[in-house]
Amino acid sequence: MNSDNFPFKEELKSTTINTGLNIILTTDEDDSRPVYISGNFNNWRTQDKEFMMEKIGSSSYHYKFPNDFDYPDELLYKFTKGDWSDVEINNEGNRTENRSTFLHTGIQEEHVARWRKNWLPFKQNYLPQVLLISDEFEIPQLNKTRKIWALLPHDYDNSSESYPVMYLQDAQNLFNESAEFGNWEIDKKLAVMSEYKIGKIIIIAIEHADEDRIKEYNVGKTILGKGEGKKYIRFVRDTLKPFIDSNFRTKKEQEFTGIGGSSMGGLVSIFSGLQNPDVFGRLMIFSPSLWVVPEIKISSKKATVADTKIYLYGGGQESQTMVSDMKSFKQKLISSTFIKENTKINLSINPKGKHNETYWSDEFPKAIEWLFFQSK
């Protein structure tokens, strides 16, 4: 316990010890980000402002539960810097078990050695199985072939479970250590999510078409000319998804099927969802190239089904219009007949975010968790 906490602790003992539970936290690593408590009392939400701790010293924090707080029989909790990517870990970088107490009054003293950073480090034994489905998977709609990968939960072979599926564009940049501009490290992020029991999912990674990438992801006639995106979308819907559902243990329904990508890959994923709301119920849209379609039309002929979730992400340092384009697109979605009342849209803006794999990597597990494994 840091010395600068002692006067505060003595004051707590004399004034509040019988009026609710007080938690005092010290940490060896500190920065300007706030610290939150999440637990079985708030559905483990990591950035719940009601449970943000008060900073009382250079590396110490305090939280007092309200006098009328409805305690569970056993209070379970962890400390985070606002996200599971920045949760507490021990000195060796390992996951800590849930903290617990049966106290409803008094002082509970806790200590955090380190904070996880950007979901890392990860455990090798939780890494997904990476399976090359084919290096020449036929795309009859485009008269081409393509490499396609499946990332299966680490214990897929020892399980009888069925899993939700996310179809992702630009496989070359998702987990390839030798990718020219870095990669999303989705294999490592899935390992941490599995270790923390956040949820398990099958990722289908589709490699892009190299020099024809933009043409293939361009839907209809746009600023970039006439694209082949409609054919590509039909490939994913009519050829690839049926193959995956036939050969892997998948949850086939709309609410368990997602599609996503970044930049032009994000744009083609938008159109995949707009044109096929009955197939793709989870959209993960990172930094989409909305400038390609300035007057994007959201068709009133189709409407989302009951359980649709759309995760939008953009960075403040990507372009002058990225954030405004994302906000405008969200508003168009909300005001369109495509969206139903119970459709959920999450807009995440990182003011420091740039248009690259590092920032998409950080956002990936947050998006997957919200899309597939959070009820709220």
Mean pLDDT of 279-297: 94
Mean pLDDT of the chain: 91
Structure tokens at 140: 């009859």
- The predicted structure's pLDDT at residue 1: 43
Q: Is the pLDDT of residue 137 over 70?
A: yes
CB atoms within 10 A of CB 90: 12
Global confidence as pTM? 0.81
- Does residue 207 contact residue 171 with C-beta atoms inside 8 Å? yes
Half-sphere exposure of 255 (CA within 13 A, CB side): 9
Q: 124-373 adopts what CATH topology? A: Rossmann fold (3.40.50)
Mean pLDDT of 32-55: 91
> Residue 3: what pLDDT?
45
Q: Where are the domains of the chain?
A: 3-115, 124-373
Residue 104 has pLDDT above 70, yes or no: yes
> Rounded to an integer, what distance in angstroms lies between the CA atom of residue 92 and that of residue 87?
14
The CATH topology of domain 3-115 is Immunoglobulin-like (2.60.40)
Mean of pLDDT values over 6-19 = 60
Task: Judge whether residue 17 has pLDDT over 60.
Answer: no
CA distances from 329 to 61, 185, 227 (A): 39, 28, 21
In sequence order, which ranges of 100-196 are alpha helices (DSSP H)?
186-195
**Contacts for 173 with CB less than 8 Å, ≥ 6 apart:** 179, 181, 182, 183, 184, 357
Q: DSSP states of 286-320 as a string? A: ES--GGGSTT----SS----SS-EEEEEEETTS-S
Q: Is the dihedral of CA 360, 239, 258, 272 positive or negative?
A: positive
In 16-87, which residue ranges form alpha helices assigned H by DSSP? Answer: none
pLDDT digits (tens, 9 = 90+) for 75-84: 999 999 988 8
CA distance 80 to 75: 16
Token pair recorded at residue 339: 């969206």
